[in-house]
Structure 1
Amino acid sequence: MPTEADRRQWARYLVEERAEGAVYSRLAGRREGEEREILLGLADAERRHEQHWLTLLGGEEPARLPKAGLRSRMLGWMAGRFGSIFVLALAQSAEARSPYDAEVHATAAMRADEKVHHEVVRGLAARGRRRLSGSFRAAVFGANDGLVSNLALVLGIGATGVGSGLVLFSGIAGLLAGALSMGAGEFVSVRSQRELLASTEESGDADAAAGDLDIDENELALVYRARGMSEQESLARATRVVAAAQAGIRRDVTGPIGVHGDHDIVGRDWTAALSSFLLFASGAIVPVLPWLFGMSGTGAIILALVLVGVALLGTGAMVGILSGGPPLKRALRQLAIGFGAAAVTYALGLVFGVGAV
């Protein structure tokens, strides 16, 4: 006979499965196509697990059920409002810690299901990470660069003992110089990459002249081999192109080879430049805020450290969530790197002092 402790545990499992199913259902409501079907499949699986615990409880839901855990409630709230990659990343972490491995009342099929669910959610999260990777990398890099570099600058200048006006001027100058440098660098980088892609795109000249070729004695197949196709595939494509051209069909139905879609992946130069400028500036303004509002001395330095510390912890935690790693560890790593750089320049400022300035 089950004990009262068993029944309480089964009730907890019941509400957790119900909460997880609700998360996947809400996420499915914000998706379309294949991803929607996958999420609905996960929700159905959670309902099967829910039914298992309900059966053990006698087939009827207890009069009083415990609340779902904080993580499950938070995921449900986020899934209903955002439906973002952050929810899937958090769900991946939750699925990785299955409580059924040591639960004797869970079936072997349920334990296997949980492992499969983890891989399914990992795959869905990976899709989102791939879509987000370029812009997220730029956002984290730009904002953190602004936070760390300008914190180090204002602390180094402030440690020399100069007036608050000079510290503020140095911080604003550092913000503008860094943001302009980031924007210019991103513009040159993206523009150069687009020009490089343009120079490597295939020409349609060979295909346009295909109607006049003799398939047995021409180098059209070499064109496709130079573009990366195998010898057999190149010859087959050349044969189709020549036959289509001789029949009066000018368009190659096999589709393009090469890098035609890569311009969209690289992005636009002015957009990239403006984004980098704004992202760096958004981070670089944080350590300047105390002096901007009239503070000076030790109080301004402490407040700058607190503000930047919170920002570094936040960006580090987001990196941890999206990468599927522990958010606290990533947050502390980000904090240590930023404060380490600031400590070096602050120490140099103390060594040189206002007299050297």
Structure 2
Amino acid sequence: MHDGNPHRPTSSGPRAVRRWRRRLADEREEAAVYRELAARRGGEEHEILLGLAEAEERHARYWEELLGDDVGRRRRGQVRMRVLVALARRFGSVFVLALAQRAESRSPYHYDQDVPASMAADERIHEEVVRALAARGRAQVSGSFRAAVFGANDGLVSNLALVLGVIGGNVPTSTVLLTGLSGLLAGALSMGAGEFISVRSQRELLAAATPNPQARAVVPYLDVDANELALVYRARGMTEQEARRRADALLQDPKPSAPAPRSEDEHEVVGTGLKAAVASFAFFASGALVPVLPFAVGLSGGPAVLVAVVLVGIALLLTGAAVGVLSGAGPLPRALRQLAIGAGAAAFTYVLGVLFGAVAA
């Protein structure tokens, strides 16, 4: 927070005024983002987002005071900030928070000589607040999102590799289409079943490690002393001193208490087996359908291969960018990484298909 009226820095001039106007416009856009997000949330998150909006409006007032008579007409912020406002207005999802986190991390205030140190520090704190809010959303969607991304990526890469491998063996278009559709169905069923078993097994492991809430009810009837009961807490990872303190307190007040709420890990992070299985099946099938589409609509030979490769490449870029956005990292590096891995796998199987085709011939 900047106290008092700011004095105009020595760097003032036409270029500085233009920069200050951009800063003012961006602060207004950021405030709008947080207000739109707050409107779609309730409780504590609503209050936190409103607090962020008020802080950005305070920063905007700093630039207004700095500009004085040069404030000019109301301007729009950068394109990325305007896109964030539009997304926040319509969706209010974790993706918007992840984008807002990235925007806060790229704040130019840390090297802008016209920005008070206190305001630059504010932006650092805003980044951490948004990071924590985004982490809540990531935890809620991580189970299904993981299954969706892995399913779509596996469908794209594995079926493109399968189709290109078969094409390399010089088989008819009908065989390529049948192979692609068979790979789609077999892979989707396998992915869905595997995801269901994986998530259910993980939840069962967590449940087995969760303390039994009924155990406290038998404490008044135990033939043990505090030292023996302390072993329970030490087995859960407490220090000997802390375990002894908890055991003494429990023996003094052994009345059963309300069961503790189940852990966040078990609910949000792991997800449910059925939801993860459905997401994995659907996204694998949708991804695996992409390389088959050109052949399904009647294309064959080189044109079909070219269209399939381009479509899969675009889809891989999109899934990689989605992972980057949700993780708060740069979407472009993640998109290119996804594309490189998929292209490498497809090229390898195509070469194998060509080699086997040549041997068979």
Residue 193 (structure 2) pairs with residue 190 (structure 1) = no
Per-residue CA distance 1:146-176 (angstroms, 9 max, x = gap): 1000000001101221110000010011111
Q: Which residue of 1 aligns with 2:56?
A: 46
Q: Deviation per CA, 1:123-148, whole angstroms, max 9, x where unpaired?
A: 32233223333322221111101100
Please, which runs of 5 or more residues in structure 2 have no aligned partner?
A: 1-7
Specify the code of the residue in structure 2 equivalent to 1:286.
V
Cα displacement string for residues 312-352 of structure 1 (whole angstroms, at most 9, x for unaligned residues): 00011111112222211111111111011000111112222
What runs of 5+ residues in structure 1 fail to find an aligned partner? none
Deviates more, 1:90-99 or 1:206-215: 206-215
Q: Distance in 2 between matches of 1:56 and 1:217?
A: 67
Taking a change above 3 Å as real, the CA distance of residues 182 and 48 of structure 1, as seen in their structure-2 partners, is same
Partners of 2:169 and 2:313 lie apart in 1 by 22
User: Helix, strand or coil: the match of 1:285?
Assistant: helix
Who is 2:267 aligned against? 264
Normalising by structure 2, we get a TM-score of: 0.85
Distance change in 2, residues 1:91/1:267 (3 Å): closer
CA contact (8 A) 1:220 1:238 kept: yes
Contact conserved, 1:95 with 1:115, CA < 8 A, in 2? Answer: yes
Deviation at 1:218, TM superposition (A): 8.6
Q: Which residue pairs with 2:333 in the alignment?
A: 329
**Whole-angstrom CA distance in 1 between matches of 2:88 and 2:54:** 17
Label 1:139 to 1:14 Cα distance change in 2 as closer, same or farther (>3 A): same
Match of 1:286 in 2: 290
Q: 1:80 aligns with which of 80, 89, 92?
A: 89
Q: What residue number does 1:57 align with?
A: 67
Distance 2:242 2:56 in 1: 47
- What CA deviation, in whole Å up to 9, does each residue of 1:166-192 have, x standing for no partner? 000100111111112112222332333
Matching residue within 96, 110, 121 for 2:119: 110
Aligned residues: 350
> TM-score of the superposition, structure 1-length normalised?
0.86
Cα contact 1:206–1:220 (8 A) shared by 2: no
The alignment's C-alpha RMSD in Å is 2.9
Q: Which residue identity does 2:336 align to in structure 1? A: L
Distance 1:52 1:306, change over 3 A: same
Q: Which amino acid aligns with 1:304?
A: A
Distance 1:51 1:252, change over 3 A: closer
Maintained 8 Å contact 1:183/1:273: yes
Q: Does residue 136 of the first structure (1) align with residue 145 of the second (2)?
A: yes
Call closer, same or farther: CA 1:190–1:319 in 2, change over 3 Å. Answer: closer
Change (3 A) 1:196 1:128: closer
- Name the CA shift for 1:123/1:346 in 2 (closer, same or farther; >3 Å): same
Aligned-partner Cα distance in 2 for 1:103–1:196: 51
